[in-house]
Structure 1
Amino acid sequence: MTATDASLTRPTVTAAILVIGDEILSGRTKDKNIGYIAEYLTNIGIELREVRVVPDLVDEIISSLNALRARYTYVFTTGGIGPTHDDITADSVAAAFGVAIDHDPRAIEMLSERFPADQLNEARLRMARIPAGAELIANSVSKAPGFHIGNVFVMAGVPAIMQAMLDVVGPTLKTGTRILSETVRAGLREGDIGTALGEIAKSHPLVAIGSYPFWSETGPDTNVVVRSRNPEKLAEAVLAVKAMIEAEQTRLRG
């Protein structure tokens, strides 16, 4: 077995993102974390399968978290771990796991690196409340930690802080085989190639093929994205797509 063959037998590692916050659902805050996490996970061989956005309601958070953590290898949450009354993620996670929650001395020590004792008021100390048994996720930006319990990683909603936490978490994750991709610009409308593209997809079952229309400087166009964990199967499908596009372009010109 070659190194490539061995990598293709690695188990698939999956993930979900649970975005928590009324401000996302209302449109007041535009999410910038989903795309970043998705790209990060794809690059290390973890397949993002689902994203949910839930309001600041304990029951909604608990039910979604329990569903996702049972279904996927990892769950990443963002939002709701700040100092205000509506930051209820930590309490909800503790309830989902059936554990107690209290001020964690380790988290207080981290906060003390930024805030002197007379500024560690009740609001800021809320950020030190951690479910029992959780491990902390360091935060180099504002010091208030995230945490990890079971297969759930609880991170901040502020993009810069979330990214710093993900850099800490990433090296600890188990990973699968990376999904490779190649994009082919068709120079054609999606409707021109839809039927033929479907036939190619049927004949290449180990490859995922998607078409994405856009408007270019010369008019309607389409990008065809081919994805696979197997580089040989990917190359075969890309050749088939390119040949189909060339044939269709010739036909339309003729």
Structure 2
Amino acid sequence: MASRASEPPPGRSVTAGIIIVGDEILKGHTQDTNTYFLCRTLRSLGVQVCRVSVVPDEVATIAAEVTSFSSRFTHVLTAGGIGPTHDDVTFEAVAQAFGDELKPHPELEAAIRGLGGEGWEKLSRVPSSARLHYGTDPRTGRPFRFPLVSVRNVYLFPGIPELLRRVLEGLKGLFQNTAVQFHLRELYVAADEASIAPILAEAQAHFGRRLGLGSYPDWGSNYYQVKLTLDSEEEGPLEECLAYLTARLPQGSLVPYVPNAVEQASEAVYKLTESGRGQTLGATLSPRNAGLLEAPCRSRRR
């Protein structure tokens, strides 16, 4: 069954569990970047990620985790274990979790033929109750030639980070929760974490469940010692807590630190060149100068 769009269940609270599949993660052969991207993106869509699990390429283990997660969370997203080789067993495991059979899907068979996919026939065999979701590639604006497969509330993403990102960006509508928007404020404090701990405890007790207050020391920064995060579904409590902390933290300890300053500056420049006010600036940006602005971004992607 094919699907172009789907609405999350009604109600404010939409939750997710993430299952990362791969021996290479557990053995330390590959660094997991998918978890960070999935958590950050889902949060921006109003979805609260409640649990992340990393499991080996074992059918029974994956199936047990899928069964557990699917009964506890609104959405379950798996990443990895999809491909043509012997250790790509996620489709089989999800089929086992829901008592399905693995069957060739005509649309997937056609898609693989269209891609000239000799050796990829294994990807056409999916759980019998699977649904197919055709998103739009954010880079090209064209529909994906190969769909995302889901079974009930479980969505089976590829493990290759670049592919996973493009698929999720093209299918955000599957997970968007318009009833909730999470708001975040970040503060940078030039003070020892232990010295401000009582103030943070008082602030959390004062605001209770209206917001979450996180404290993260950074021993490698020359600008600050502690990063504070204020997280809430409403703007009001964040502004109130910001004022509360500003009045109580050691005078002068709040640092006007801007993370990723070079990247943000280059983005701001290009936004300005696209506006009417930035025409003069845009004319002065030679290809060489433009390359200088982009260089930090390229180096971070490597």
Tell me, in whole angstroms, the C-alpha distance in 2 between the residues paired with 1:174 and 1:229.
15
Structure 1 contact 188–221 (Cα < 8 Å) conserved: yes
Tell me, in whole angstroms, the C-alpha distance in 2 between the residues paired with 1:245 and 1:133.
56
Residue 235 of structure 2 corresponds to 231
**What pairs up with 1:1-254 in 2 under 5 angstroms?**
11-115=12-116, 120=118, 123-138=119-134, 143-175=145-177, 176-205=179-208, 206-214=210-218, 215-217=220-222, 221-247=225-251
Tell me, in whole angstroms, the C-alpha distance in 1 between the residues paired with 2:100 and 2:154.
14
Tell me, in whole angstroms, the C-alpha distance in 2 between the residues paired with 1:91 and 1:24.
20
Give the Å deviation of 1:138.
4.0
Tell me, in whole angstroms, the C-alpha distance in 1 between the residues paired with 2:100 and 2:111.
22
Tell me, in whole angstroms, the C-alpha distance in 2 between the residues paired with 1:165 and 1:106.
18
Query: How far does the alpha carbon of each residue in 1:116-174 deviate from its partner, in whole angstroms, 9 at most, with x for none?
Result: xxx53xx4100111111211244869955430111100010001111222123311225
Amino acid at match of 1:133: S
Unaligned residue ranges in structure 2 (runs of 5+) = 1-9, 254-302
SS of residue paired to 1:193: helix
SS of residue paired to 2:32: coil
TM-score in terms of structure 2 length: 0.73
Amino acid at match of 1:49: C
Give the Å deviation of 1:233.
1.2
Amino acid at match of 1:48: V
Tell me, in whole angstroms, the C-alpha distance in 2 between the residues paired with 1:234 and 1:174.
23
Tell me, in whole angstroms, the C-alpha distance in 1 between the residues paired with 2:29 and 2:148.
24
Structure 2 contact 105–126 (Cα < 8 Å) conserved: yes
Unaligned residue ranges in structure 1 (runs of 5+) = 1-8, 250-254
Higher deviation after alignment, 16-25 or 209-218: 209-218
The percentage of aligned residue pairs carrying the same residue is 28
Tell me, in whole angstroms, the C-alpha distance in 2 between the residues paired with 1:35 and 1:100.
32
Query: How far does the alpha carbon of each residue in 1:59-87 deviate from its partner, in whole angstroms, 9 at most, with x for none?
Result: 11011111111111000000011000110
SS of residue paired to 1:153: strand
Richer in strand (by share):
1
Q: CA RMSD, aligned part only?
A: 2.2
SS of residue paired to 1:162: helix
TM-score in terms of structure 1 length: 0.86
Tell me, in whole angstroms, the C-alpha distance in 2 between the residues paired with 1:221 and 1:129.
52
Tell me, in whole angstroms, the C-alpha distance in 1 between the residues paired with 2:72 and 2:11.
19
Tell me, in whole angstroms, the C-alpha distance in 1 between the residues paired with 2:170 and 2:189.
40
Amino acid at match of 1:154: L
Tell me, in whole angstroms, the C-alpha distance in 1 between the residues paired with 2:147 and 2:87.
18
Structure 2 contact 17–69 (Cα < 8 Å) conserved: yes
Tell me, in whole angstroms, the C-alpha distance in 1 between the residues paired with 2:48 and 2:191.
30
Query: How far does the alpha carbon of each residue in 1:175-200 deviate from its partner, in whole angstroms, 9 at most, with x for none?
Result: 14121110111111111100111011
